[in-house]
Amino acid sequence: AQSVTQPDIHITVSEGASLELRCNYSYGATPYLFWYVQSPGQGLQLLLKYFSGDTLVQGIKGFEAEFKRSQSSFNLRKPSVHWSDAAEYFCAVAPQSFQKLVFGTGTRLLVSP
Amino acid sequence: EAEVAQSPRYKITEKSQAVAFWCDPISGHATLYWYRQILGQGPELLVQFQDESVVDDSQLPKDRFSAERLKGVDSTLKIQPAELGDSAMYLCASSFGDYMTYEQYFGPGTRLTVT
């Protein structure tokens, strides 16, 4: 079955430390890939997206993600986390054959001082 | 900066009652989406409009949910009757065109609690 998996429900990172959030997908072909962030009481905001080309994608707020076809992964990274990055992060995919975003269950990021 | 507006932000209703949510997309955005986000899960698309036409409502429980976008601008999502399992965040999003090319902008959501 087609699915999006975010294996980490919660992650705690110290401020200034690096961050990697995992996302794996299960689709027959390479789908379109997205990362969104949701801050408390707010809607989702697009951080970055991958359609094709360079497998390292740069996004807003200093985030980047790397598409690895062999691992069916699209992990989100940030070299130095700020307290304001505390939020919930969602990976989403869209099969190229039809238009519908499918979201993972999210990873809640906590930033410790 | 233009934003997607939603109201109300919070709604508490008793089961079997009717409830309605309103969304005003960013001006000029032809595509409008309604998502449901159950606590601990990611958003799930309920319905997608292109102007006033429904493009995808395959996940909309049509026995109790309805959505309209009569003039191709703002939209209303209705639940009648509400059930306990409908408690969730209802998110509206809009985009200039199809989301493959254009970013979806999300509103703050309406949190529904059914008692």
Which residues constitute the domain of residue A82?
A: 3-112
Number of domains in chain A: 1
Number of domains in chain B: 1
CATH number where B46 lies: 2.60.40.10
DSSP for chain B reads: ----EEE-SEEEE-TT--EEEEEEPPTT--EEEEEEE-TTS--EEEEEEETTEEEE-TTS-TTTEEEE-TTSS-EEEEESS--GGG-EEEEEEEESS-TTTS--EE---EEEEE-
**Residue B88 maps to a domain:** yes
Burial (CB count within 10 angstroms: exposed 0-12, middle 13-18, buried 19+), residue A53: exposed
Of the residues B31, B106, B110, B111, the best mutation for testing chain A's interface (the one with the most A CB atoms within 10 Å of its CB) is B106
CATH number where A66 lies: 2.60.40.10
Contact call for A103 and B42, based on CB within 8 A: yes
Residue type, A21: L
Cβ atoms of A92 and A36 within 8 Å: the answer is yes
**Residue B33 maps to a domain:** yes
Which residues constitute the domain of residue B98?
A: 17-104
Chain A hits for B42, Cβ within 8 Å: 4, 90, 92, 103-106
**Residue B9 maps to a domain:** no
**Residue B6 maps to a domain:** no
**Residue B72 maps to a domain:** yes
Work out the average pLDDT over B47-57: 93
Residue type, A49: K
> Is 80 exceeded by the pLDDT of residue A98?
no
**pLDDT tens-digit map of A9-65:** 999 999 999 999 999 998 777 788 999 999 987 889 999 999 888 999 999 999 999
**Residue B4 maps to a domain:** no
**Residue B24 maps to a domain:** yes
**Residue B97 maps to a domain:** yes
Work out the average pLDDT over A92-108: 83
